[in-house]
Amino acid sequence: MEHTMGIERQQAGGSGTAKVMLYAAGILLIAEAIGSFTFKIGPGKVVLLPMIWALLLGAALGLASERWKSAARLDTSNQFLAAAILQPALLLFVSKLGLMVGSALPKLAAAGWALAFQEFGHFVGTILLGLPLALLLGIKREAIGATFSVGREPSLAIIGEKYGMDSAEGRGVLAEYLTGTVFGAVFIAIFAGFVASLGIFDPLAMAMGSGVGSGSMMAAASGAIAAQQDAETAKSVLAFAAASNLITTTIGTYFTLFISLPLAVWGYRVLEPLIGRTTKASTQDDASARPSLGDLQTEAPSLGYGGKLLAWVVTAAMALVCDWMAHGTTPLVGLPGIAIMVGATIVGDALARVTGSKIPAVCWVSVVAMFLTSPWCPWGTQISALSAHNDFLGVTTPMLAFAGLSIAKDIPAFRRLGWRIVLVSFVANAGTFIGATLVAQLFHI
């Protein structure tokens, strides 16, 4: 009897995986067909890229499925499966980021101590301001995911691997990601412009503070600062902001993993008993907070190595489609770069398993990918040229399609967080800008 039930679950799991991947592929095609959409809000602007449409469409599909009665519905077990697929998909993004950065390592080495040490400000600033506020507002362990960084793609990868995207920490970082994506650029442009108008900080220190690890937020903040400077200073502001952002997306991954995340966990343990409150925003971490689904799965399943390999291949294929639709890069042209990206991910994941996961896979994948395009790799120039055919947004869009498909199961928790998580996100973004600017000011002046 138990053997029969096991076979049925395996078959259901296989059909569920096919269903989730088919839905993700359909969402990706629609998102890329919609394309980018830009609109202004005050002095800033919001750019909705295909990856955002993918995230929103996936969430909408999950919510709509609650009313379906057919076999095509995306039930909660499918949503947890999407969360499981998302975790290996995130490693592909880290691999692509490493391939982009490897050739720029000499530039980073020459950037100077101010650019290096301001990373402390970026990630500590989010915790010093954001974490206490989140606890005072009644947010529980979601506060860790929401305040250990500004919640961009590498942060999703770190939380996904360490806690799983179906955890309270996963909900927190995803809520921070959503808030930062929709409102982050507008908020940071207004805030940075206001701080620049006070004349307290050196423009170049504020430029370094602008490199928070998000291209759109960096551009918005540095643009608002540069607009208040003379032409020559404005050029320097933009250059320093770009260098800072590059460092944040590379070295910053290790800062978040080994410094800011442990600091956020420690801060939560110390502060929650002292200032933590229980409000409508408070959620439970245990299984009792989840709906009762009988025999259906109520936590992200373990994919196994075969499942991870399938996730990498399917996500890579979807990335090729994105490049084709967005940039006209044919799959034949983009395939070598994508194959290198997948290969770096497989090698990095294997190193993590061989070493007993003492060093997370996200670090190994990043190191392997950076080496392949670095000056120390004999084929670095050729690999970099092949990888340049693949846009990193092409990897981000399928990743967020899976994230969107997994969101509906957490909507009750997001509703409880409500305006509180938006406020915490704004304060965390302000904290990372001010913290990094202060540190850069000390080293630059």
- Total domains in the fold of the chain: 1
**Contact (CB, 8 A) for 324 and 334:** yes
Which pLDDT score is estimated for 292? 37
Look at residue 71 and tell me if it is in a domain: no
Given a cut of 70, whether residue 181 has pLDDT beyond it is no
Decide if 292 is inside a domain: no
Q: Which two tokens stand for residue 107?
A: 């530039």
Q: Say what the pLDDT of residue 385 is.
A: 92
Strand-pairing partners, residue 38, are 47
| Residue 375 falls inside a structural domain | yes
Beta bridge partners of 48: 37
Domain that holds residue 222: 2-66+76-284+300-444
pLDDT for res 296: 38
Q: Which two tokens stand for residue 332?
A: 């034949």
Evaluate whether residue 295 is within a structural domain. no
Asked if residue 400 is part of any domain, the answer here is yes
- Residue 420 pLDDT exceeds 60: yes
Q: What is the pLDDT of residue 318?
A: 95
Question: Which segment of 242-246, 266-270, 325-329, 382-386 scores lowest on mean pLDDT?
Answer: 242-246
Q: What is the pLDDT of residue 220?
A: 75
- Secondary-structure percent of the chain, ordered helix, strand, coil, rounded to 5: 75, 0, 20
Residue 166: pLDDT band (50, 70, 90) is confident
pLDDT digits (tens, 9 = 90+) for 96-142: 878 877 776 776 666 566 666 766 776 677 888 889 999 999 888 88
pLDDT of residue 114: 61
Whether the per-residue pLDDT at 45 is higher than 70: the answer is no
Mean pLDDT rounded to a whole number for the chain: 80
pLDDT band at 246 (very low <50, low <70, confident <90, very high): low
Q: Is the pLDDT of residue 314 over 90?
A: yes
Q: How many CA atoms lie within 13 A of 173 on its CB side?
A: 27
List pLDDT tens digits, range 205-216.
898 888 887 766
In 3D, which of 416, 426, 324, 399 has the Cα closest to residue 55?
399
With b meaning 16 or more CB within 10 Å and e meaning fewer, what string describes 323-336? Answer: bbbbeebeeeebbb
Q: Report pLDDT digits (tens) over 69-95.
A: 777 788 888 888 888 888 888 888 888
pLDDT band at 257 (very low <50, low <70, confident <90, very high): confident
b/e code 184-216 from CB counts within 10 Å (16+ = b): bbbbbbbbbbebbeeeebebbbbbbbbbbbbbb
Phi, psi angle pair for 40, to nearest 5° = -95, 145
Q: What is the pLDDT of residues 346-363, one digit of tens each?
A: 999 999 889 876 777 877
- Domain membership of residue 57 (yes or no) is yes
Quote the CA–CA distance of 204 and 224 in Å, as a whole number: 13
Per-residue pLDDT at 113: 62
pLDDT digits (tens, 9 = 90+) for 377-416: 999 999 999 998 988 778 888 988 888 888 777 777 667 7
Q: What is the mean predicted confidence (pLDDT) over 262-286?
A: 80
Residues pairing with 40 in the sheet: 45
The C-alpha atoms of residue 386 and residue 189 are separated, in whole angstroms, by 35
pLDDT interval class at 4 (50, 70, 90): very low
State pTM to two decimals. Answer: 0.71
Mean pLDDT confidence for 228-257:
77
* C-alpha to C-alpha distance for 232 and 342, rounded to whole angstroms: 42
pLDDT(1) > 50: no
The answer as to whether 291 is a domain residue is no
- Least confident window among 34-43, 219-228, 322-331: 34-43
Contacts of 77 (CB under 8 A, 6+ apart): 12, 16, 293, 296, 297, 298
Task: Kindly state whether residue 293 falls inside one of the protein's structural domains.
Answer: no
pLDDT for res 97: 75
Q: Is the pLDDT of residue 373 over 70?
A: yes
pLDDT surpassing 60 at residue 327:
yes
How many Cβ atoms from other residues are within 10 Å of residue 224's Cβ?
A: 24
Rg of the chain, C-alpha, whole Å: 21
- Could you give the CA distance from residue 45 to residue 406 in angstroms, rounded to a whole number? 28
Q: How confident is the model at residue 44 (pLDDT cuts 50, 70, 90)?
A: low
Least Cα distance to 364 among 340, 348, 344 occurs for 348
